[in-house]
Amino acid sequence: MSFSFTNPRPDREPSFSFTGPDEVEEQLQAITHLAHEILRLVAEVRAQISS
């Protein structure tokens, strides 16, 4: 199994690639964690703005 991700914007972080279902699962968990952290921070900022 192979998976690769390439950002369409070259000025951003470099693309990454990895192979194997275990690595895919690890990457998905990391992405999920980051997404939750981003949402938490956004909620925090919104609360500060609205108060």
pLDDT of the chain, 51 residues: tens digit per residue: 555 555 555 565 556 565 678 888 888 999 999 999 999 999 999 999 998
* Structure-token match 């000025």, residue found: 11
Q: Return the DSSP state at 41.
A: H
For residue 20, the model assigns a pLDDT of: 77
* Structure-token match 């968990």, residue found: 29
Single-letter code of the amino acid located at 16: F
For residue 10, the model assigns a pLDDT of: 56
